[in-house]
Amino acid sequence: MNRHVSFRRVVPAFVAALAVLSLARAGQDEPAATTSQPANEAPPPGRVTGRVTAEAGKTLPEMIVYLESSEPNRRFPAPGEPAVISQKGAKFQPNPLIICVGQAVEFRNDEDRPIEHNVFSRSPARTFDLGLYKPGVDKRVTFEQPGAVRLFCSIHRYMDGMIFVCPTPFFAKVGADGRFDIADVPPGSYRVKTWQARQRFKEQTSDVEVTSGQAAEVAIEMRRK
Amino acid sequence: MPHNLKQARHDSRSAWHGSCDRWHGQALAQSKPVDPAERVPRGPGHVEPRRAPTLRAAAMLIALAAALAGCEAPVKIQPGLSGARITIQAKPKSGYHRPVAGVSGVDPYGMSTPASVDDEVPQTGAFALVDYDHLDDIVVWLEPQNRVTPDAVPPDITLDVATPDPAGPPLFATGVGGVLRVRNTGRRAESVYSVSEGNEFDLGALPAGGMARSTLHRPGVVEVLLDSRNEPLARVYVAPSPWVRRARGGQSVVFADLPPGAYRAACWHPRLPGTEQNVQLRADQLTRVTLVVGVDALARSR
A118·B93 Cβ contact <8 A: yes
pLDDT, tens digit, for every residue of B230-240? 899 999 999 99
The pLDDT of residue B121: 64
Picking from B202, B298, B300, the nearest residue to A122 by CB comes out as: B298
Asked if A22 is an interface residue toward chain B (Cβ–Cβ < 8 A), one would say: no
- Name residues 148-207 of chain A within 8 A of B (Cβ): 152, 154-160, 198-202
A199·B227 Cβ contact <8 A: no
A90·B127 Cβ contact <8 A: yes
- Mean pLDDT, chain B, as a whole number? 78
B298·A140 Cβ contact <8 A: no
Which segment of A5-19, A51-65, A116-130 scores lowest on mean pLDDT? A5-19
Q: How many percent of chain A have pLDDT more than 90? A: 76
- Name residues 122-161 of chain B within 8 A of A (Cβ): 126-131
Distance of CA B70 to the CA centre of its chain: 18
B129·A159 Cβ contact <8 A: no
B272·A154 Cβ contact <8 A: yes
With a cut of 50, say whether residue B112 has pLDDT above it. Answer: no
Torsion of CA B151, B157, B158, B160, to 10 degrees: 180
Q: From residue A96, how far is each of A82, B128, B197 by CA, in Å? A: 15, 21, 21
What's the ipTM?
0.79
Asked if B52 is an interface residue toward chain A (Cβ–Cβ < 8 A), one would say: no
B193·A224 Cβ contact <8 A: yes
Domains and CATH numbers, chain B: 3-93+119-297 (2.60.40.420)
Q: B26 or B259: whose pLDDT is higher?
A: B259
Picking from B118, B126, B128, the nearest residue to A89 by CB comes out as: B126
Asked if B276 is an interface residue toward chain A (Cβ–Cβ < 8 A), one would say: no
pLDDT, tens digit, for every residue of B286-299? 999 999 999 998 86
The pLDDT of residue B18: 34
With a cut of 80, say whether residue B111 has pLDDT above it. Answer: no
Which segment of A35-39, A122-126, B53-57, B190-194 scores lowest on mean pLDDT? A35-39
- Section B254-271 average pLDDT: 96
B302·A202 Cβ contact <8 A: no
With a cut of 70, say whether residue B169 has pLDDT above it. Answer: yes
- Section A117-125 average pLDDT: 97
pLDDT, tens digit, for every residue of A145-178? 999 999 999 999 999 999 999 999 999 999 999 9
Picking from A120, A159, A224, the nearest residue to B202 by CB comes out as: A224
Residue in chain B nearest A200 by alpha carbon: B195
With a cut of 90, say whether residue A208 has pLDDT above it. Answer: yes
Chain pair A-B, CB pairs under 8 angstroms:
95
Q: With left for phi above 0 and alpha for psi between -120 and 50, is residue A147 left, alpha or beta? A: left
Cβ A143 vs Cβ A99: under 8 Å: yes
The pLDDT of residue B8: 37
The pLDDT of residue B61: 72
- Section B195-217 average pLDDT: 96
- Section B96-112 average pLDDT: 53
Q: Give which of A154, A156, A160, A203 to mutate to test B binding, by max B Cβ within 10 Å.
A: A154
Contacts of B116 in chain A (CB under 8 A): 116
A154·B294 Cβ contact <8 A: yes
Asked if A6 is an interface residue toward chain B (Cβ–Cβ < 8 A), one would say: no
- Name residues 81-100 of chain A within 8 A of B (Cβ): 89-91
Asked if B299 is an interface residue toward chain A (Cβ–Cβ < 8 A), one would say: yes
Residue in chain B nearest A61 by alpha carbon: B230
Q: A2 or A65: whose pLDDT is higher?
A: A65
A132·B225 Cβ contact <8 A: no
Q: How close, in Å, is residue A74 to chain B by CA atoms?
A: 28
- Mean pLDDT, chain A, as a whole number? 87
Asked if A137 is an interface residue toward chain B (Cβ–Cβ < 8 A), one would say: no
Cβ B206 vs Cβ B270: under 8 Å: no
Q: Give which of A115, A117, A149, A157 to mutate to test B binding, by max B Cβ within 10 Å.
A: A157
CATH for A46-222, among 1.20.1530.20, 2.60.40.10, 2.60.40.420, 1.10.150.110?
2.60.40.420
Asked if B94 is an interface residue toward chain A (Cβ–Cβ < 8 A), one would say: no
Q: A56 in helix, strand or coil?
A: helix
Asked if B193 is an interface residue toward chain A (Cβ–Cβ < 8 A), one would say: yes
With a cut of 80, say whether residue B267 has pLDDT above it. Answer: yes
Q: Give which of B104, B227, B268, B271 to mutate to test A binding, by max A Cβ within 10 Å.
A: B271
With a cut of 50, say whether residue B42 has pLDDT above it. Answer: no
Which segment of A4-13, A202-211, B14-23, B108-117 scores lowest on mean pLDDT? B14-23
